[in-house]
């Protein structure tokens, strides 16, 4: 199975991405680290623990708490989208265990260095933990296969005209990521706003099993999306890992803006004009939305809970 680490800020779509990563037999989730993003890091850590505990994996998948705030920019949450708790609408109880004592950065370092083969890093929140990791322990880069990161857009943002939420939240960390030299797959709004969960998928989800019921409850409290459907942004990373054939990518250089009105913008060198044809990322540009919906139901439906 593919060894991955998720760095996450649950968050409703993060919770769904974790659900897929925990349960799909083709993925071996080694560690979950939490970062401030959709809500504060104490809440994102608790929410990650709730999901791991929901599937009874607390002895197998450690959860570590990470950065409380972006590198430089003041912290702003997205509670208006994900609710005050970050995962509203379902009662996970009070007994969902504890984060390990190590910080996210120490846990990331130890897990990546101990791995017997290069590991895939899957960030679905802002990239603060990873930026700190790379500056403190640059040697980890050699043992990372690739980073499959939700965030960014070649088009309009969902925070500002230019910027997507994860990159807007910590633009300086996003710049560190894209400048790191580690292969990156940019799973941005270019596909996540195409792969909308349809009303029909949502209807079917609730009846599948306990997991479907849980995710349906969370998604019903999600402030993102509209009549055309609901974006499950972070889930697209896991879909990419399992079904790359359903996603079209384009290699290009991506620069991240850290100042001014374009702060957090991922500027893709679409014309290959500015970096002599050199590239630092595979950018996801198209997705088979029907295949995504079908897979979403199959994944959840196959969980024995």
Calpha distance 2→244 (Å, rounded):
14
- Inter-residue contact 241 to 227 (CB < 8 Å): no
Per-position x/- string for 100-129, each x denoting binding to Ca ion as judged by CB under 5 A, each - no binding: ------------------------xx----
Phi, psi of 200 (to 5 degrees): -65, -45
Residue 184 C-beta: closest distance to Ca ion, Å: 17
> Which of residues 4, 5, 6, 14 is near ligand BDR by CB under 6 A?
14
Q: Does 196 bind ligand BDR (CB under 6 A)?
A: no
Q: Which is nearer to Ca ion, 125 or 229 (CB)?
A: 125
- Applying CB under 5 A, the site for Ca ion has a residue count of 6
> Which of residues 4, 5, 13, 269 is near ligand BDR by CB under 6 A?
13
3-state secondary structure the chain: CEEEEEEECCCHHHHHHHHHHHHCCCEEEEEEEECCCCCCHHHHHHHHHHHHHHCCCCCCCCEEECCCCCCCCCCCCCHHHHCCCCCCCCCCCCCCCCCCCCCHHHHHHHHHHHCCCCEEEEECCCCHHHHHHHHHCHHHHHHEEEEEEECCCCCCCCCCCCCCHHHHHCHHHHHHHHCCCCCEEEECHHHHCCCEECHHHHHHHHHHCHHHHHHHHHHHCCCCCECCEEECCCHHHHHHHHCHHHEEEEEECEEECCCHHHCCCEEECCCCCCCCCCCCEEEEEEECHHHHHHHHHHHHHCCCC
The region of 10-18, 26-34, 134-142, 183-191 touching Ca ion under the rule CB under 5 A is 10-18
Q: Which is nearer to Ca ion, 163 or 208 (CB)?
A: 163
**Residue 78, binding choice from Ca ion, ligand BDR, none, Cβ under 5 to 8 Å by partner class:** ligand BDR
Residue 10 C-beta: closest distance to Ca ion, Å: 7
Residues 216 to 245 in contact with Ca ion, rule: CB under 5 A: 234
Of the residues 98, 216, 233, 243, only one is catalytic, namely 233
Q: Does 153 bind Ca ion (CB under 5 A)?
A: no
The region of 112-120, 162-170, 265-273, 288-296 touching ligand BDR under the rule CB under 6 A is 162-170
Q: Does 11 bind Ca ion (CB under 5 A)?
A: yes
233 flagged as catalytic: yes
**Residue 152, binding choice from Ca ion, ligand BDR, none, Cβ under 5 to 8 Å by partner class:** none
- List residues near ligand BDR by CB under 6 A: 11, 13-14, 38, 78, 81, 124, 150, 158, 164-166, 233-234
Catalytic positions, written as ranges? 233
- List residues near Ca ion by CB under 5 A: 9, 11, 14, 124-125, 234
């Amino acid at each position: 199975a593919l060894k991955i680490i998720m760095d996450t800020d649950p968050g409703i779509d993060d919770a769904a991405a974790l659900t897929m990563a925990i349960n799909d037999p083709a993925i071996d989730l080694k560690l979950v680290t939490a970062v401030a993003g959709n809500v504060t890091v104490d809440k994102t850590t608790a929410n990650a623990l709730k999901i791991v505990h929901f599937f009874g994996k607390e002895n197998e998948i450690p959860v570590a708490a990470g950065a409380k705030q972006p590198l430089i920019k003041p912290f702003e949450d997205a509670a208006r989208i994900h609710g005050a708790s970050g995962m509203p609408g379902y009662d996970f109880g009070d007994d969902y265990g504890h984060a390990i004592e190590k910080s996210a950065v120490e846990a990331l370092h130890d897990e990546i260095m101990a791995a017997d083969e290069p590991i895939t890093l899957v960030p679905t929140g802002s990239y603060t933990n990873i930026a700190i990791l790379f500056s403190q322990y640059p040697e980890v880069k050699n043992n990372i296969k690739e980073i499959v990161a939700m965030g960014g857009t070649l088009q309009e943002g969902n925070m500002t005209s230019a910027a997507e939420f994860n990159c807007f939240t910590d633009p300086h960390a996003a710049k560190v990521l894209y400048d790191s030299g580690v292969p990156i797959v940019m799973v941005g709004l270019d596909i996540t706003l195409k792969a909308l969960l349809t009303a029909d998928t949502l209807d079917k989800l609730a009846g599948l099993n306990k997991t479907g019921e849980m995710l349906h409850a969370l998604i019903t409290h999600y402030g993102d999306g509209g009549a055309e459907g609901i974006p499950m942004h972070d889930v697209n990373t896991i879909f990419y890992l399992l079904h790359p054939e359903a996603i079209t990518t384009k290699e290009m250089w991506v620069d991240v803006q850290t100042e001014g009105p374009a702060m957090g913008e991922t500027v893709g060198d679409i014309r290959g004009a500015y970096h002599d044809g050199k590239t630092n990322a595979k950018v996801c540009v198209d997705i088979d939305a029907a295949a995504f919906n079908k897979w979403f139901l199959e994944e959840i439906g196959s969980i024995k809970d």
